[in-house]
């Protein structure tokens, strides 16, 4: 196993599940053996995988705070592991941080999301006391092209003192539509964004 990516943000609805599923699908297209762990008691990624027609990567549910103890055994047969984190549940978030190599914090370009991210970053800082190698990045999701808020959010985010991914993900209905049918976006602008996003993720070592 090479990498454990965790998509985490204590705030709900920021795109953890959407980006987890799309990252897993894109890595699978690149012939990586991918395990997606749904660590959210709501089970959204599992529900999505249950309506898939072609299961091309494995999805398991594990929303418990012993996740970090069980993950090594579970992950040994895979190249990459993606953890789709829950909103709010702090105990579970701590366990995910113990398991992860790289934490991706999705957030939308709004002041509320910037403030909320600080809470997740505090948890990461706490985990880094024990795991100095734990890396984290902010990922802007649902950016609306050519808006002031889309541009300004980067400046505000620098205050959080966490690297920000260069590849933003735009507000695109294709993400929601593809999920509804148990799929992922495979072409068009949304797919291009995901490819760039995964390229950048893989460069973080
Ligand atoms: N880039 C995007 N463009 C359009 N819609 C999006 C985008 N990202 C996410 N969404 C939509 O926003 C909603 C919330 O996204 P998602 O479920 O991925 O967030 P989440 O962080 O996993 O939420 P929760 O905290 O409840 O688990 C979904 O309806 C999803 O389809
Ligand atoms: Mg989710």
CATH number at residue 37: 3.40.50.300
Structural domain contains residue 150: yes
Residue 148: predicted pLDDT:
80
Please give the angle made by the CA atoms of 62, 65 and 69, to the nearest 5 degrees.
Answer: 80
User: pTM value?
Assistant: 0.97
If one counts the domains in the chain, the total is 1
Distance 69 CA to ligand 1 centre (A): 28
Distance 50 CA to ligand 1 centre (A): 18
- 104's enclosing H/E stretch is strand 102-107
Q: Could you identify the atom of ligand 1 that is nearest to the CA of residue 169?
A: 1
Structural domain contains residue 102: yes
d(CA 3, CA 6) in angstroms, rounded, equals 10
Residue 180: predicted pLDDT:
82
Average of pLDDT values for 69-78?
94
What are the Cα distances from residue 68, in Å, to 64, 92, 134, 145, 149? Answer: 9, 10, 14, 38, 37
The yes-or-no verdict on residue 62 having pLDDT over 90 is yes
Residue 53: predicted pLDDT:
75
Residue nearest to atom 9 of ligand 1 (CA): 15
Give the domain extent around 69: 3-198
Distance 17 CA to ligand 1 centre (A): 7
Structural domain contains residue 203: no
The yes-or-no verdict on residue 26 having pLDDT over 80 is yes
d(CA 34, CA 58) in angstroms, rounded, equals 7
Structural domain contains residue 86: yes
> Higher pLDDT residue, 201 or 48?
201
Structural domain contains residue 83: yes
The yes-or-no verdict on residue 92 having pLDDT over 90 is yes
Average of pLDDT values for 58-69?
96
Structural domain contains residue 168: yes
Residue 149: predicted pLDDT:
78
Structural domain contains residue 28: yes
Structural domain contains residue 205: no
Report pLDDT digits (tens) over 140-184.
999 988 888 777 888 889 989 999 999 999 999 999 999 888 889
């Amino acid at each position: 196993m090479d990498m454990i990516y965790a998509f985490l943000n204590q705030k709900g609805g920021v795109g953890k599940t959407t980006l987890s599923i799309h990252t897993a699908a894109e890595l699978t297209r690149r012939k990586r053996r991918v395990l997606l762990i749904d660590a959210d008691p709501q089970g959204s990624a599992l529900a999505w995988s249950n309506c898939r027609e072609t299961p091309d990567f494995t999805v398991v549910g594990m929303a418990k705070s012993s996740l970090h103890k069980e993950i090594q055994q579970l992950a040994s047969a895979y190249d990459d592991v993606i953890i789709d984190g829950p909103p709010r549940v702090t105990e579970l978030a701590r366990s995910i941080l113990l398991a992860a190599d790289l934490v991706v914090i999705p957030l939308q370009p709004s002041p509320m999301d910037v403030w909320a991210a600080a809470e997740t970053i505090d948890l990461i800082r706490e985990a880094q006391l024990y795991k100095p190698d734990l890396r984290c990045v902010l990922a802007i999701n649902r950016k609306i092209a050519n808006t002031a808020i889309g541009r300004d959010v980067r400046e505000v985010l620098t205050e959080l003192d966490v690297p920000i991914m260069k590849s933003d993900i735009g507000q695109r209905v294709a993400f929601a539509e593809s999920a509804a049918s148990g799929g992922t976006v495979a072409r068009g602008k949304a797919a291009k964004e995901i490819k760039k996003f995964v390229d950048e993720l893989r460069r973080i070592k």
